[in-house]
Structure 1
Amino acid sequence: MPTLNIVMVEPEIPQNTGNVSRTCAATGAILHLVGPMGFTIDDKKLKRAGLDYWHFLDIRYYDTLADFFSRNTGNFFYFSTKAPRNHTEVTYPDNCYLVFGKETAGLPEELLHQNPDSVVRIPMLSEARSLNLSNAVAIGVYEALRQWDFPELSQEGHPRSFDW
C-alpha cells in the first residue's frame, strides 16, 4: 500500500486537528504534527473530534519545522491559497507529504518562496479567504488517494439493509 503523509504545521484549533486525525485514521495516512501547537495533545476537544479512531492513527510529533525536515525526506506539496497551480494538477507519488499551515496564517512565506514548484491550491471563490483546515486536508488526502485508485480502502457500503 502506498504511504501518504499529512503534515500540520503549528495547528491552533484542537477540533480541526481531531478531524484531521480521524481522516488520517480512516485512510491510513500518517499524521505529522509540527509544533508549537495552540493546544495540548490531551485536549478534550481534540479527542472528541477524533472519537474512537485514535487506535488506528499513526501520529508523529516534532518541536519545530526544522525538526520535521531534519527527520523526513521525500516529495513535499505545500497547500496555500497563494499558489498559482491547483492541487489536481500535480501527481502525488508514494510516500509524499501534503503540508498544511496553521489556521490563522497558513505556511511560512519563506517556505513557499523556496519551493514554488511544489505549492498548490484548492480552487475556491476569490472572495473567500480560505477553507476550513480540516476540510482542506480531506480534499488533499482524497485527491492523492483518487490518483492511486484508493488502495486498500473499502469502496463498498456498510453491510446494512436500506429501504431505498
Structure 2
Amino acid sequence: MNIVLLEPEIPANTGNIGRSCVATNTRLHLIEPLGFRINEKQIKRAGMDYWDKLDINIYSDLEDFYEKNLAAKEHMYFATTKAHHTYKEAKYNPDDYIMFGKESAGIPEEILSDNEDKCIRIPMWGDIRSLNLSNSVAIILYEALSQNGFEKMQLTGELHRLTYK
C-alpha cells in the first residue's frame, strides 16, 4: 500500500503515520511544502525508533509525485469529508495509493472534483469537522490491508504465562 500526504503541517501526525507505515510495510509519500523539517525532533519522537525503517519518498509538488508514480493516477483514493462514499465501499488493491490532505484544509477542491468517484470518507456523528489525520490514515489503511488479507503480516501473537508467588 501507499499513503500519500499532501502538504502535511503537523510533525507529530506525520511521525505517527510513519510508524503505522513501518508496522504495515506501507510506503509513505510526502508532497511539499511540508509544515516542518523532516529532521525535526517532534517527527522522530512520534515515529520513535522506527523512523530509520520507514520507506519514505518526498516530492517537490503534486506534479513531481505523479511523474514518479505513474500508477497513482489510476490507483488513487482521496480521503475527504466531502466524499459521497465511505472508505468501506472502496475495493482496495495491494498497490493502491490513498491520499490525505493537510490538516488545516484537506485536499484542494479541484483535485476532489476531478476524482469524485475515487473520493472516500470516514463516517462521523453530528457536525464534527474531521478526525485527527493520523487516526484517519490508520482507519483507512487497515481497512485496505484487511481487504487484502493482511498479506505477509503477522496475524497471531503469543501470551507469556506469568507465575506469581
TM-score, with normalisation over the residues of structure 1?
0.94
What's 1:56 paired with? 53
The answer to whether the 8 A contact 1:26-1:56 is kept is no
For residue 70 of structure 2, the aligned residue among 67, 70, 73 is: 73
For residue 17 of structure 1, the aligned residue among 8, 14, 18 is: 14
How far the C-alpha of 1:152 sits from its partner, in A, is 1.0
Mapped to 1, the partners of 2:48 and 2:107 lie a distance apart of: 28
The answer to whether the 8 A contact 1:85-1:120 is kept is yes
What's 1:145 paired with? 145
Mapped to 1, the partners of 2:162 and 2:115 lie a distance apart of: 49
What's 1:36 paired with? 33
**Stretches (4+) displaced over 6 A:** none
Mapped to 1, the partners of 2:33 and 2:22 lie a distance apart of: 22
Q: After the TM superposition, which residues 98-113 of structure 1 pair with which residues of structure 2 at under 5 Å, given as runs?
A: 98-113=98-113
Q: After the TM superposition, which residues 93-132 of structure 1 pair with which residues of structure 2 at under 5 Å, given as runs?
A: 93-132=93-132
Question: Cα distance 1:158–1:31, how it changes in 2: closer, same or farther (>3 A)?
Answer: farther
Mapped to 2, the partners of 1:60 and 1:128 lie a distance apart of: 32
What's 1:135 paired with? 135
What's 2:156 paired with? 156
For residue 6 of structure 1, the aligned residue among 3, 11, 28 is: 3
TM-score, with normalisation over the residues of structure 2?
0.93
How far the C-alpha of 1:159 sits from its partner, in A, is 4.9
Name stretches of at least 5 consecutive residues in structure 1 with no aligned partner: none
The answer to whether the 8 A contact 2:94-2:145 is kept is no
Q: What is the one-letter code of the residue matched to 1:14?
A: P
Equivalent pairs counted in the alignment come to 160
| Larger Rg, first or second structure (1 or 2) | 2
Mapped to 2, the partners of 1:51 and 1:98 lie a distance apart of: 23
Mapped to 1, the partners of 2:160 and 2:133 lie a distance apart of: 32
Q: What is the one-letter code of the residue matched to 1:125?
A: W
